[in-house]
């Protein structure tokens, strides 16, 4: 194995995992979903008590998918609050004096719901501590549109101090696989691409993205996807 000075990790579904069974379930239009919509609606109805959940839910989902599509094409990151601004616009609601307060509270409700689903497997923490004990430098590059929640989770699981640099797309304005976000990490760590190994679960974002900049990549292929037609191929 090539000698690296630095190992950089993706965060979600690499270091920590989502368990959406912790979210409340709703039955709507014949489908059962686990979603943060209930928590967000509880905040929303304090400002617009006349709106029913069914009127709220479609714009809630549509705004999510519209931003997801834009992000996947342009690799540009948008603050999570932009999604809720779009949602309110879709609902045709007149601005109110406290609209900014409502948006911020909806963001927090959504993020608190997501955070409640995040788990750190014990073996992952042990692995990180072992890597640190071998005197590797470590960093994180994560696609996440609300950095405070990412930092709070690292603090909650008591692993913040393992990483020299933490780069979150919500602060950079660009998402993996965009080269800019990887370059930000390289600059912060003051290393060259050949000195680092990137570890992540998403082929396009983590493997193709890092290798485009000359960083070796280890793919955590949880879904056992075929590597046969992948180009570039992961190094590990």
Domain boundary among 68, 95, 115: 115
Please tell me the predicted confidence (pLDDT) of residue 220.
96
Please tell me the predicted confidence (pLDDT) of residue 195.
97
125 and 75 share one domain: no
CA pair distance 81, 62, nearest whole angstrom: 15
211 and 154 share one domain: yes
Residue 230 in tokens: 């992948």
Residue 193 lies in a domain: yes
DSSP string, the chain: ----SEEEE--BTTTBEE-GGGSPEEEETTEEEE-SHHHHHHHHTTT-TTS-HHHHHHHHHHHHHHHHHHHHHH-B---HHHHHHHHHHHTTPPP-TTHHHHHHHHHHHHHHHHHTTEE--HHHHHHHHHHHHTT-EEEEEE--S-HHHHHHHHHHTT-GGG-SEEEEHHHHSB-TTSHHHHHHHHHHHT--GGGEEEEES-IIIIIIHHHTTT-EEEE--TT----TT-SSPP--
C-alpha distance from residue 34 to each of 20, 27, 54, 115, 125 (Å):
7, 9, 15, 14, 27
CA angle 223, 229, 235 (to 5 degrees): 70
C-alpha distance from residue 165 to each of 124, 140, 178, 183, 224 (Å):
19, 6, 18, 12, 30
Mean pLDDT of each 10-residue bin along the chain, 236 residues long: 93 97 85 92 95 95 96 95 94 74 95 98 98 97 98 98 98 98 98 98 97 97 79 92
CA pair distance 188, 132, nearest whole angstrom: 18
Question: Which residue range forms the structural domain that includes residue 175?
Answer: 6-17+120-219
CA pair distance 205, 175, nearest whole angstrom: 8
103 and 189 share one domain: no
Residue 180 lies in a domain: yes
Domain boundary among 84, 115, 146: 115
Please tell me the predicted confidence (pLDDT) of residue 230.
82
27 and 103 share one domain: yes
Residue 99 lies in a domain: yes
Evaluate whether 197 touches 7 at the Cβ level (below 8 Å).
Answer: yes
Q: Considering the entire predicted model, what is its pTM?
A: 0.93
């Amino acid at each position: 194995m090539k000698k690296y000075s630095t190992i950089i990790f993706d965060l979600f579904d690499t270091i920590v995992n989502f368990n959406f069974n912790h979210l409340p379930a709703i039955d709507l239009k014949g489908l059962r979903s686990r979603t943060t919509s209930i928590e967000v609606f509880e905040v929303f109805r304090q400002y617009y008590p006349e709106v029913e959940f069914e009127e709220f839910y479609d714009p809630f989902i549509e705004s999510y998918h519209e931003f997801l599509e834009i992000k996947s094409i342009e690799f540009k990151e948008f603050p999570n609050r932009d999604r809720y601004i779009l949602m309110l616009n879709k609902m045709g609601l007149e601005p109110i004096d406290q609209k900014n307060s409502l948006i911020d509270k909806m963001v927090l409700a959504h993020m608190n719901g997501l955070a409640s689903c995040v788990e750190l497997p014990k073996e992952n923490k042990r692995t990180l501590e072992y890597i640190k004990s071998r005197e590797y430098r470590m960093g994180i590059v994560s696609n996440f549109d609300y950095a405070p929640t990412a930092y709070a989770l690292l603090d909650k699981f008591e692993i913040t101090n393992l990483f020299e640099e933490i780069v979150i797309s919500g602060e950079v304005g660009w998402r993996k696989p965009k080269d800019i976000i990887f370059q930000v990490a390289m600059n912060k760590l003051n290393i060259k691409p050949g000195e680092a190994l990137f570890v992540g679960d998403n082929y396009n974002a983590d493997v193709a993205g890092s290798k485009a900049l000359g960083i070796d990549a280890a793919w955590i292929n949880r879904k056992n996807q075929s590597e046969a037609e992948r180009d570039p191929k992961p190094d590990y």
